[in-house]
Structure formats: C-alpha cells, structure tokens
Structure 1
Amino acid sequence: MTRHPIIDTHVHFWDMATPDLGMKWVWLEKEFVHPILGDIDAMKSVKYTIESVFAESRFADVSGFVHVQAALGSADPVDETRWLTRMRESAPVPFTIVAHADLGTEHAIAQLDGHAESPYFVGVRDFAAEPMLAAGEINPVYEASLRVLAERGLVYDLDCEWMNMPAGTELARRHPDLSVVLEHIGFPRSRDDEYFENWKRSLTELASAPNVTCKISGLAMTDPRFTRDSLRRWVDACVEAFGPDRCVLGSNWPVDRLYSSYDVIMDLYREYIAELSDSEQSKILSENAARLYRL
C-alpha cells in the first residue's frame, strides 16, 4: 500500500518567551479557561514553533503545514504574520499562513494589505464570522471584504457549527469565486446520534456549494476519550458529502495533543480513507491542500 505524504492544514505557533512588541496569545495565558474545551493547561507551553511540530511529526511523512491564526489579543494581527514570516525563512519544512483580519470593519483591507507583504500569506480566519451567521446578519462591509479575498485568491477558513451551516451555505453561494474551507468539520460539540444526524444533514447542505472544502481536523477535541470506531463515521460522512476532491486534513496541533499523539491521530485518518483509490487518498492527504494553501 502506498503511504502518501500529508500536508497538515491546521497547526498553531506561538512564542510567549520572547514575543514581538504588541503580540499576545490570550487563550494560552495561565488563568484562561477555554470556553468549549475547558482546561487546556497541559498544552500551555511557553513556546511552540515549526521546530516543535516538526519534531513531533517527523515520522508521520508530513511535507508541509498551514499555521492558522493563534495570536489572539495582539494589537495588530499583521504582527503575527511578520513574526511567522521570519520563522518560515529558516523552517525545516515549509508552511504557509492563514491569518486573522477584522473583515467586518474599516481596517480589513489595510490588514489584508499588510499580510500580503508576506509571500507565505494564503488566507484568513475571522472568529466574528460564526456569531454573524448565527444572528442571520449580512454585513455589507464583511461582504465587500469577502469579495476582496476572492479577487486576491485567498482562502476563507470558516468556523461554523451545524446549526449555522445553512447560513454558511448562503454565504458561499453569494461568493462563488471564494474558496471557503470549513474548519474542524464544524467543531461538533456532542457525539450522540441525534447531534450526528443534524450535523450530517447540514454538512451535506453545505457541501452543495461547490466552492466549499471540508477540513478534517480537530475531531478529538470534543471526543477526548475517542476510539478508532468513534471517529470513523464523522470522517466517512465528510468524504461522502464533499468527495475526495474537496477534503483536506489537519492535525489541530498541539491542541489535539491533549488527547493523543501526532502519529496515532494521523494514522487513524489514513486508515479511515484507506479504501479509497491511491489517487483519491493523495488528494485528501496533500494535493488539495497544496492547491488551496499554495504549498
């Protein structure tokens, strides 16, 4: 059996030991309790960089990474991109950058312009998106920013729980030229059968928008004592809904290290798609990510 390389589309880096001026990672501060995951103290190291994830992943055949915004609370989101760009120049393995931008504000375009000074900037994640979808809002400024993302060929990484996926589908259809990537398969908050069926129905609706890709990542976060069988149906449903051409893989590292080791999780993902053809496996594991995130 061919062992295809992986492009890991979801990792986080930080450096609270020697931070650039103005940079913060509030979710990693000592007293912070994660609003969904609760106690994440076991992963709150002072520093985690490309060297760190390379050390953990080097036997998993990973050929590249995508860093997703992590410097929450920083004065200027572009500072994170500048810091990451310096790191990228001497990285042992390539990575690109999905940054933060305040897409619903007057600062959006200036922030995008600042990020664009880095040759490794490839997309945006904005946590303001899900509350906006949940409220049924269509913000003209946000819509204009999404059009700019599409014009510039940038990826829009979208957090969207199942009950907000119909609104996410409408957003994707309003912007057919925008590459939208569903984060963490919609970050399921529960693993019971009723939740699964609601999620699967909404996921299938979201997949009907041809410009949406599903990021298979973060599955362990709300299933901390997961088993080989407990994760399988969630991955199967993603591949069934989106097909091998519109799925990518992410580790959500080091957050998912709270629940297992890197090789175990990645090998499970490989196992779940092993019945697909070699070419289909290669698309999910690396080729789709290489195209979307310019690796």
Structure 2
Amino acid sequence: MAKPSVVDAHMHLYDLNHPDLFYEHLQNPDFVHPLIGPQLGKLAERSYEVSDYLADIEGHGVDKSIHIQCAMGSEDLADETKWLQGLSDEYGHPHAIVGEADLCDPQVGRLLERHCQYENFRGIRDFGSDDYLTSAEFARGFSMLADFDLVASLDVKWEDMEKLAKLSESHPETLVVLDHAGFPTERTQEYFENWQRGIKRLAECESVYCKVSGLGMCDNAWTTDSIRPWVVHCLESFTPDRTIWSSNWPVDGLWSDYGTMIEAYREVLSVLSERDQGKVFGGNAERIYRI
C-alpha cells in the first residue's frame, strides 16, 4: 500500500545573515529557551535554508510545507513574509506562510493587510503574554483574522485550554490550530491526565484543530511508544478530521533524523484507515491553509 502524501504543516527556515531579520532565540546569547534550554544553541551554528530542508525531507513523501514564524525581534514583522514568499517563488517551498503579529495591537489590521500582499500568506502565530486569551484587545484582533481568511496558530498549554475554548466559542468564525498538541512539558501521569482534559475540552470547539508535533522538545529521548498516547488522545478527541501532523523541523531534528520521526508517526497512525491517514498527513492542512 502506498504511503499517503504528506504536508509538513510546521517547519522553519532561517537566514542568520539576512539584513532585515532577527532571530532572538538564536542570535541573542543571553536568550534561554524555556523548554529546550541551551540545546537550542546548536541550531544557531548556521542558517537553515530551503536546500537543507529539501535534503532532510528527500525520500519521505513530503509534497508541501507550511512555514511557521521563526524570526523574533525583527523591526518589520512583514519582512519575514516577504523573504519567504521569495523563497517559495524560487524553490516551490514553503507553500503557505504563517507569520507574526501582535493581535492585541489596535493597529494590527494594517500589518495583516501588509502580510496578505504576499500570495502564500495564510495565518498568524501569536505567542501572547500574561492572560492574553481573556483580554478584549486580543479578542478583537483574533476575530479580525476571519475577515482576512487567516488561521490563528496558538501555543496554549493545558492550563489555558479552557480560556482558548471560551474564546473560540465566542468567535467560531476564526479557525485555530493548537500548536504541538498544546506543548506538553511533563511526562508524569498527573500532567497527562490534566492535559487530556484540556484537549478534550478544546476539541468541543469545531473551529479548533490540533497539530501533533514537537513532542521531542520535552521528551528528548522519545520513542514511538512514548509519543503514542499523546497522539492517540489527540486523534480520539479531535478525530482525524481535525488533527494535523507536522515535523517542527529543524527544532525536533535536535533529537532525531527526519526519517525516524516521520516513520514513528506513520506507525502510530497506521491504526487509521488510509483515508483518515491522508487527512492527518496532508488533507486537513491543504484544506484549512488553502494549498
């Protein structure tokens, strides 16, 4: 049986020599990633370009890619989108771009218009801060994404999933993708049960999708069996209709090679029908990102 085609719905490229882009997490020597820690420094040793990504995915059936915001601290947030569109025009990857914006900014609409000048722009990633999910300012910017036909890519841990559920229920017109299965930071049974409840609550919102990826960030010695319960619960809660696979490359490349990673997910997802595997590995991403 042929393997289903793949859309890698969460990958990153970065040019450390680009004059208009800055990568705070890679170029600021004082920055310490709250989850990955000093290991992230290995990624700062050189740029990660389209040619590197194409070499990593070669032979693994990846047909399309979606770039998720990587630059942090650039003066003009639309510059990364401009750069990525140029790469897509030249190399064919990435097929969609999710960029950065502060959705609490009362002038965010102007930035969204500038992002949307580029053909492949499809969404906004906003890390937020403090209790942003309950703020009126964020809700305004969040609801505005639907006017631009953009997806909200959000990093929300289980502690805040109820808040995101209420926000999504108030603004069901805005599509949400929960990044990295909600960034599970621990592997204790208590944490897993709390996370399960949060995922199940979020799955009640039909406008929310769940991205299964990035599980190596807090489980560096991961195995197929160690990621299985997390992926299975996402599938059971969101169903294959609202679950999206992605690689989180090259970040998860710190602990694996691309082939080992994708084959582990293929094994976990092999319990699904071929049709449902196709949804998770590509069809859902193609639909909501319009690629």
Give TM class, smaller chain. over 0.9
TM-score (normalised: structure 1):
0.95
Question: What's 1:25 paired with?
Answer: 23
Q: Which amino acid aligns with 1:88?
A: S
Describe the superposition over 1:248-290 as per-residue Cα deviations: whole angstroms up to 9, x where unpaired: 1110010001110111111111111101111111000000000
Question: Aligned partners of 1:112, 1:46: CA distance in 2, in Å?
Answer: 30
Indicate conservation of the 8 Å contact 2:132/2:138, yes or no: no
2:15 corresponds to which residue? 15
Q: Letter of the 2:52 partner, please give it.
A: S
Partner of 2:256: 260
How far, CA to CA, are the matches of 1:203 and 1:169 in structure 2? 10
The equivalent position to 1:161 in structure 2, one of 150, 157, 162, is 157
Q: Structure 1 pair 278/130, CA: closer, same or farther in 2 (3 Å)?
A: farther
Amino acid at match of 2:77: P
Task: Indicate the residue corresponding to 1:245 in structure 2.
Answer: 241
CA distance in structure 2 between the aligned counterparts of 1:231 and 1:146, rounded to whole angstroms: 31
Which moves more between the two structures, 171-180 or 37-46? 37-46
Secondary structure of 1:14's aligned partner = coil
Query: Structure 1 residue 212 and structure 2 residue 211: aligned?
Result: no
- Whether the 8 Å contact between 2:35 and 2:217 is mirrored in structure 1 is no
Kept in 1: contact 2:173–2:207 (CA 8 A):
yes
Q: How far 1:95 moved relative to its partner?
A: 2.0
AA aligned opposite 1:74: S
1:105 aligns with 2:115: no
Kept in 1, the 8 Å contact 2:4–2:278? The answer is yes
What is the letter of the counterpart of residue 27 of structure 2?
E
Q: What secondary structure, in the 3-state scheme, does the structure 2 residue paired with 1:248 have?
A: strand
Alignment of 1:35-74 (within 5 A): 35-39=34-38, 40-74=40-74
SS of 1:156's equivalent in the other structure is strand
Greater shift, 102-111 or 229-238, is seen at 102-111
Aligned-residue offset at 1:46: 2.5
- Say which SS state the counterpart of residue 63 (structure 2) adopts: strand
Cα deviation, 1:73-98, whole Å, max 9, x if unaligned, reads 10111011111111111114442100
Matched-pair contact (CA < 8 Å) for 1:184–1:219: yes
Structure 2 gaps of 5+ residues are: none
* Runs of at least 5 residues in structure 1 that lack an aligned partner in the other structure: none
Of residues 190, 200, 210, the one that matches 2:196 is 200
Q: Which runs of 4+ in 1 moved over 3 A?
A: none
State how 1:117-196 maps to structure 2 within 5 Å.
117-128=117-128, 131-133=131-133, 137-139=134-136, 141-196=137-192
Please report the TM-score for the alignment, with normalisation by the length of structure 2.
0.96
- What is the CA RMSD across the aligned residues, in angstroms? 1.3
Q: Check whether the contact 1:43–1:257 (CA below 8 A) recurs between aligned residues.
A: no
User: Secondary structure at 1:241's aligned position in 2?
Assistant: helix
